[in-house]
Protein backbone atom coordinates (compact mmCIF):
# COMPACT_ATOMS: atom_id res chain seq x y z
CA UNK A 1 0.00 0.00 0.00
CA UNK A 2 2.79 2.41 0.92
CA UNK A 3 4.52 1.69 -2.40
CA UNK A 4 1.30 2.61 -4.25
CA UNK A 5 0.92 5.85 -2.30
CA UNK A 6 4.50 6.84 -3.03
CA UNK A 7 4.22 6.02 -6.74
CA UNK A 8 0.89 7.77 -7.32
CA UNK A 9 2.24 11.36 -7.12
CA UNK A 10 4.94 10.48 -9.64
CA UNK A 11 2.32 9.25 -12.12
CA UNK A 12 0.28 12.40 -11.64
CA UNK A 13 3.29 14.64 -12.24
CA UNK A 14 4.11 12.97 -15.57
CA UNK A 15 0.53 12.81 -16.83
CA UNK A 16 -1.03 15.18 -19.37
CA UNK A 17 -2.76 18.24 -17.95
CA UNK A 18 -6.33 17.03 -18.62
CA UNK A 19 -7.29 17.08 -14.94
CA UNK A 20 -6.48 20.78 -14.70
CA UNK A 21 -8.11 23.77 -16.37
CA UNK A 22 -5.34 25.15 -18.56
CA UNK A 23 -5.20 28.61 -20.07
CA UNK A 24 -3.70 28.27 -23.54
CA UNK A 25 -2.26 31.30 -25.33
CA UNK A 26 -0.68 31.94 -28.72
CA UNK A 27 3.09 31.72 -28.49
CA UNK A 28 3.14 29.00 -25.84
CA UNK A 29 5.47 26.07 -26.50
CA UNK A 30 4.51 22.74 -24.92
CA UNK A 31 6.00 19.32 -24.41
CA UNK A 32 3.53 16.52 -25.01
CA UNK A 33 3.10 12.77 -24.76
CA UNK A 34 5.02 11.74 -27.85
CA UNK A 35 4.94 8.66 -29.99
CA UNK A 36 7.96 6.36 -29.47
CA UNK A 37 11.03 7.92 -31.06
CA UNK A 38 9.69 11.49 -30.99
CA UNK A 39 11.22 12.40 -27.63
CA UNK A 40 11.96 16.10 -27.59
CA UNK A 41 9.20 16.95 -30.05
CA UNK A 42 7.39 20.18 -29.21
CA UNK A 43 4.28 22.06 -30.27
CA UNK A 44 3.67 25.79 -30.43
CA UNK A 45 0.22 27.35 -30.23
CA UNK A 46 0.19 29.82 -33.11
CA UNK A 47 -3.43 31.07 -33.04
CA UNK A 48 -6.69 30.31 -31.28
CA UNK A 49 -10.14 30.87 -32.76
CA UNK A 50 -13.75 29.91 -32.16
CA UNK A 51 -15.69 28.31 -35.00
CA UNK A 52 -19.42 28.96 -34.94
CA UNK A 53 -21.94 26.30 -35.83
CA UNK A 54 -24.43 23.89 -34.31
CA UNK A 55 -21.73 22.98 -31.85
CA UNK A 56 -19.19 25.83 -31.56
CA UNK A 57 -15.62 24.62 -31.21
CA UNK A 58 -12.43 26.27 -30.04
CA UNK A 59 -9.65 25.60 -32.56
CA UNK A 60 -5.98 25.76 -31.68
CA UNK A 61 -3.70 26.27 -34.66
CA UNK A 62 -0.40 24.65 -33.77
CA UNK A 63 2.97 23.93 -35.35
CA UNK A 64 4.96 20.82 -34.43
CA UNK A 65 8.68 20.06 -34.54
CA UNK A 66 10.75 16.96 -33.83
CA UNK A 67 8.76 14.27 -35.65
CA UNK A 68 11.07 11.38 -36.51
CA UNK A 69 10.49 9.09 -39.49
CA UNK A 70 11.13 5.32 -39.40
CA UNK A 71 14.57 5.82 -41.01
CA UNK A 72 15.59 8.27 -38.27
CA UNK A 73 15.15 11.42 -40.36
CA UNK A 74 13.64 14.28 -38.38
CA UNK A 75 11.06 16.31 -40.30
CA UNK A 76 11.88 20.03 -40.44
CA UNK A 77 8.50 20.81 -38.89
CA UNK A 78 4.79 20.77 -39.53
CA UNK A 79 3.66 24.31 -40.12
CA UNK A 80 -0.04 24.01 -39.33
CA UNK A 81 -2.38 21.61 -37.60
CA UNK A 82 -5.81 22.58 -36.30
CA UNK A 83 -6.56 20.74 -33.05
CA UNK A 84 -9.27 20.75 -30.41
CA UNK A 85 -8.92 21.73 -26.77
CA UNK A 86 -9.50 18.07 -25.93
CA UNK A 87 -6.48 17.11 -28.05
CA UNK A 88 -4.30 19.54 -26.13
CA UNK A 89 -5.75 18.67 -22.73
CA UNK A 90 -5.11 14.96 -23.27
CA UNK A 91 -1.65 15.40 -24.81
CA UNK A 92 0.35 18.33 -23.43
CA UNK A 93 2.52 17.82 -20.37
CA UNK A 94 4.16 21.13 -19.52
CA UNK A 95 5.07 24.53 -20.85
CA UNK A 96 8.56 24.70 -22.32
CA UNK A 97 10.91 27.65 -22.21
CA UNK A 98 12.49 26.52 -25.48
CA UNK A 99 13.12 29.28 -27.99
CA UNK A 100 13.72 26.89 -30.90
CA UNK A 101 12.27 28.26 -34.15
CA UNK A 102 9.00 26.84 -35.46
CA UNK A 103 7.80 26.95 -39.06
CA UNK A 104 5.56 29.83 -40.13
CA UNK A 105 1.97 28.61 -39.88
CA UNK A 106 0.23 31.28 -41.97
CA UNK A 107 0.34 29.52 -45.35
CA UNK A 108 -1.03 26.30 -43.88
CA UNK A 109 -3.72 28.21 -42.00
CA UNK A 110 -4.81 29.98 -45.21
CA UNK A 111 -4.99 26.64 -47.06
CA UNK A 112 -7.04 25.14 -44.20
CA UNK A 113 -9.49 28.05 -44.28
CA UNK A 114 -9.81 27.90 -48.09
CA UNK A 115 -10.58 24.18 -47.86
CA UNK A 116 -13.00 24.59 -44.93
CA UNK A 117 -10.81 22.02 -43.22
CA UNK A 118 -11.59 19.95 -40.17
CA UNK A 119 -10.10 19.82 -36.71
CA UNK A 120 -8.04 16.99 -35.21
CA UNK A 121 -9.58 15.50 -32.08
CA UNK A 122 -7.07 12.66 -31.65
CA UNK A 123 -3.93 12.84 -29.52
CA UNK A 124 -0.85 14.72 -30.70
CA UNK A 125 1.08 11.42 -30.78
CA UNK A 126 -1.60 9.94 -33.06
CA UNK A 127 -1.39 13.03 -35.28
CA UNK A 128 2.38 12.50 -35.55
CA UNK A 129 1.68 8.91 -36.63
CA UNK A 130 -0.70 10.17 -39.35
CA UNK A 131 1.99 12.56 -40.59
CA UNK A 132 4.53 9.71 -40.70
CA UNK A 133 2.09 7.55 -42.70
CA UNK A 134 1.45 10.37 -45.19
CA UNK A 135 5.16 11.05 -45.67
CA UNK A 136 5.87 7.33 -46.16
CA UNK A 137 3.02 7.03 -48.70
CA UNK A 138 4.30 10.05 -50.65
CA UNK A 139 7.77 8.46 -50.91
CA UNK A 140 6.45 5.27 -52.55
Are 125 and 35 in contact by the 8 Å Cβ rule? The answer is yes
Closest C-alpha to 90, from 126, 44, 41, 45: 126
Model pTM score: 0.83
Distance separating alpha carbons of residues 94 and 66, to the nearest angstrom: 16
Provide the domain limits for residue 8. Answer: 2-139
Report the chain's mean pLDDT, rounded to a whole number: 87
Distance separating alpha carbons of residues 58 and 129, to the nearest angstrom: 23
Q: How many domains does the chain have?
A: 1
Report the pLDDT averaged over residues 65-82: 93
pLDDT of 11 > 60? The answer is no
Q: How far is CA 44 from the centre of its chain?
A: 8
Between 124 and 8, the higher pLDDT residue: 124
- Structure confidence at residue 12 (pLDDT): 41
Amino acid sequence: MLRFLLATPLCVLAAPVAAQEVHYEPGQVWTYETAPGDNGSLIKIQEIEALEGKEPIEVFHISMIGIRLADGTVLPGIMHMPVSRRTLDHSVIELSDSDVPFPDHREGLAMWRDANGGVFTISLAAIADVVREQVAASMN
